[in-house]
Amino acid sequence: MKKKISIIGVPMDLGQRRRGVDMGPSAMRYANVVERLQALGYEVHDLGDIEIGRPNEFDVIDEDNLKDLKEVVNANQTLAEAVSKSVVNGSFPLVLGGDHSIAIGTLAGVAEHYKNLGVIWYDAHGDLNTGETSPSGNIHGMPLAVSLGIGHPYLTGLGGYAPKIRPENVVIIGARSLDDGEKELIQEKGIKVYTMHEIDRLGMTRVMEEAMEYVTKDTDGVHLSLDLDALDPHDAPGVGTPVLGGTSYRETHLAMEMLAEADIVTSAEFVEVNPILDDKNTTATVAVALMGSLFGEKLL
Ligand SMILES: NC(=[NH2+])NCCC[C@H](N)C(=O)O
Ligand SMILES: [Mn+2]
Ligand SMILES: [Mn+2]
């Protein structure tokens, strides 16, 4: 991994309905993300937060079952530019969310420079909905579909090109809540998924070995999109859409350590940290500890 890291905060909460996730980036800063990574020898640049426009109450907000579409598109456009710039500067983009709709902008910025990007989507959910299939209209349930070029053209066309990634380069890890339309898309595109069943059966070591081999085959970089709700809510309670039966703190650390050892990750985002729903900033603290492991922290 590179020695320079650019931290980009995205206080986005319009991709879902539970307020508070906009405070995720400050919660992770409060949990000493900058200091933790500096201690590992990195040159860390905290670029501050992306500005999020607030929706106008007179706007139609529910057009095509896409809540706050305009604001989500605009913020992601700004984010894509910031991410792209940090790649150009030779810096590792580390994006702090914010709800998962920000993956649209992160991937738009990263994929400009990686023509065949591998993606590890570590999440309880598939985030493979579109306006047509979404039960909620919440864009945070759509970013993986959007990045594959599926969805509203305002979203898929962000950055002026689509798709950003190919289905054969994506692996989902930790899934345990998928909507019908998402299941169909997984079948249709042949997307590789390690559900909690496979994690229980094979163990995290084998899952990560297989997943890492999968996303590095013919790819030129690997993006890690880590939704804190992949973890069991007992270990990471501060998330907007918790689902019981998730990966443990220890399994997730192991996954991060294996990624660090393999040295394959070229960009990352940690999303859905919601301090309002949290228990004494536990979830932000867990997120920062996981970043420590991802960037090479070891006990001995
Ligand atoms: N990034 C997330 N936490 N996504 C949760 C999505 C939940 C549900 N599948 C939806 O589309 O609304
Ligand atoms: Mn999720
Ligand atoms: Mn997600």
Is 127 a known active-site residue? yes
Ligand 1 atom 8, closest CA: 141
CA dist 10 and 48 (Å) reads: 9
Query: CA 1 to CA 90: how far, in whole Å?
Result: 11
**Measured between alpha carbons, how far is 76 from 70 in angstroms, rounded to an integer?**
10
What is this model's ipTM?
0.97
Annotation marks residue 125 as catalytic: yes
Distance CA 143, CA 147 (A): 6
Q: Check if 63 has its Cβ closer than 6 Å to any atom of ligand 1.
A: no
The residue annotated as part of the active site, out of 22, 49, 140, 198, is 140
Residue pair 251/259 in contact by the 8 Å Cβ criterion:
no
- The ligand 1 atom at the shortest distance from the C-alpha of residue 137 is 12
pLDDT in tens, the chain (300 residues): 559 999 999 999 999 999 999 999 999 999 999 999 999 999 999 999 999 999 877 665 567 999 999 999 999 999 999 999 999 999 999 999 999 999 999 999 999 999 999 999 999 999 999 999 999 999 999 999 999 999 999 999 999 999 999 999 999 999 999 999 999 999 999 999 999 999 999 999 999 999 999 999 999 999 999 999 999 999 999 999 999 999 999 999 999 999 999 999 999 999 999 999 999 999 999 999 999 999 999 999
The pLDDT assigned to 56 comes to: 78
Question: In the CATH hierarchy, which top-level class contains the domain 4-295?
Answer: alpha beta
Per the annotation, the verdict on 227 as an active-site residue is yes
Nearest CA-CA partner of 28 in 45, 44, 9: 9
Show the tokens assigned to 176: 């345990």
**Active-site position among 13, 227, 232, 278:** 227
Nearest ligand 1 atom to alpha carbon 229: 3
